């Protein structure tokens, strides 16, 4: 029983819907505070080349444990932050924190080659976004060539205001990739015209490998599109050896997933995945 209208058109909401709306309001209030207090955290997940022997990158993933709400999933609070504009300070915090962490790993000689960050298409709407990235690059001293920005597939549809920003990031030397590839209905032609260098096959397709033909065909098609356009491909959510074998045989370039390593805090990342000092 979701929403019921009476004859005059008044709407009645169920108790669950009221609870959901209340929870959302609480998340908004607490998230604003968490960002201001610097109470968010970052976790880091390794990205491997397909033999599994070397870490080629690390993805920073935001984490939030609220005193009142407990752990809130990033999918949930990032979506809310995108709706209410908090994504701008949140994204800025993630960038500064991730850059700083990565720079300290580089100074210690233990950084992987690439730092990947998730950037919301909403962040590109701010005309000063590229300038703010450039300012953070200057402030932290990170090399833009070691950065990769992951955008959800919808960025391919929002092309009008997105193009100049993506091109400016590309000119800075930052690599751009499409996250969750295959889940949207975006115009593939834009893959060719935008400065995209990598596709991230969505976890939902990787988890379906071997379970049905249609799914395997989608994975092969994504790899085929990538090969045709000269793009690299990373498979996300690789959890089993069978998935890894299939993807390796089909020409996938990189893996990320629990088979190789979950997202962990900075210290654990260093302990488990850091390149040994040379
Ligand atoms: P994503 O960018 O596609 O990140 C990969 C997600 O898959 C992460 O979830 C990661 O923990 C999870 N994952 C990786 N390997 C496996 C696996 O083998 N099995 C399973 N079941 N899961 C795996 P997480 O950290 O919950 O993040 C969810 C999404 O939230 C991210 O998806 C990204 O879209 C968004 N997100 C996370 N951090 C940020 C951020 O700092 N900014 C923005 N804008 N979005 C973020
Ligand atoms: Mg990502
Ligand atoms: Mg992804």
Please give the ipTM for the structure prediction. 0.99
Question: How many angstroms is it from 101 CA to the middle of ligand 3?
Answer: 21
Measuring from atom 12 of ligand 1, which residue has the nearest CA? 237
Q: What pLDDT is stored for residue 59 in this prediction?
A: 98
Does 277 have pLDDT greater than 60?
A: no
Looking at the CA of residue 239, tell me the nearest atom of ligand 1: 18
Give the pocket of ligand 1 (CB within 6 Å).
45, 61-62, 73-75, 78, 94, 118-120, 150, 179-180, 203, 236-239, 256-258, 263
Cα 169 to Cα 61, 106, 148, 242, distances in angstroms: 20, 22, 10, 37
Q: How does pLDDT run across 256-266, given as a tens digit for each residue?
A: 999 999 999 99
Cα 193 to Cα 167, 188, 221, 223, 246, distances in angstroms: 10, 10, 19, 18, 30
Determine whether 243 is exposed, middle or buried from the number of CB atoms within 10 Å of its CB (0-12, 13-18, 19+).
buried
Q: Using pLDDT thresholds of 50, 70 and 90, give the confidence band for residue 6.
A: low
Q: What pLDDT is stored for residue 278 in this prediction?
A: 41
Average pLDDT, the chain: 92
Buried b (16+ CB within 10 A) or exposed e, 184-219: eebeeebbeebebbbbbbbbebbbbbeeeeebbebb
Q: How does pLDDT run across 181-202, given as a tens digit for each residue?
A: 988 878 888 898 999 999 999 9
**Beta bridge partners of residue 89, listed in sequence order:** none
Question: How many angstroms is it from 37 CA to the middle of ligand 3?
Answer: 27
Which tokens sit at 137?
């690059």
Q: What pLDDT is stored for residue 13 in this prediction?
A: 67
Looking at the CA of residue 202, tell me the nearest atom of ligand 1: 3
Question: How many angstroms is it from 261 CA to the middle of ligand 3?
Answer: 15
């Amino acid at each position: 029983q979701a929403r019921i209208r009476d004859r005059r058109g008044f709407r009645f909401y169920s108790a669950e819907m009221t609870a959901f709306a209340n929870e959302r309001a609480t998340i908004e209030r607490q998230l604003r505070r968490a960002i201001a207090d610097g109470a968010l955290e970052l976790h880091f997940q390794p990205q491997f080349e397909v033999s599994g022997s070397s870490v080629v990158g690390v993805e920073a993933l935001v984490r939030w444990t609220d005193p009142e709400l407990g752990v809130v999933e990033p999918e949930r609070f990032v979506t809310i932050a995108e709706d209410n504009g908090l994504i701008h300070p949140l994204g800025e915090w993630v960038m500064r924190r991730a850059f700083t962490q990565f720079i300290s790993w580089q100074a210690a000689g233990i950084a992987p080659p690439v730092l990947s960050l998730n950037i919301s298409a909403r962040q590109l709407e701010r005309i000063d976004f590229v300038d703010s990235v450039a300012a953070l690059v200057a402030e932290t001293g990170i090399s833009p060539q070691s950065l990769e920005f992951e955008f959800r597939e919808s960025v391919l549809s929002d092309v009008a205001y997105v193009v100049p920003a993506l091109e400016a990031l590309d000119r800075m030397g930052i690599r751009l990739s499409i996250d969750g590839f295959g889940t949207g209905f975006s115009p593939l032609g834009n893959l060719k015209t935008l400065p995209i260098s990598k596709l991230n096959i969505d976890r939902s397709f990787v988890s379906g490998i071997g379970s049905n033909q249609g799914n395997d065909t989608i994975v092969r098609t994504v790899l085929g599109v990538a090969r045709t356009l000269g793009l690299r491909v990373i498979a996300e959510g690789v959890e089993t050896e069978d998935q890894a074998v299939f993807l390796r045989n089909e020409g996938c370039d990189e893996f990320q997933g629990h088979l190789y390593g979950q997202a962990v805090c900075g210290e654990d990342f260093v302990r488990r995945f850091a390149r040994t000092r040379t």
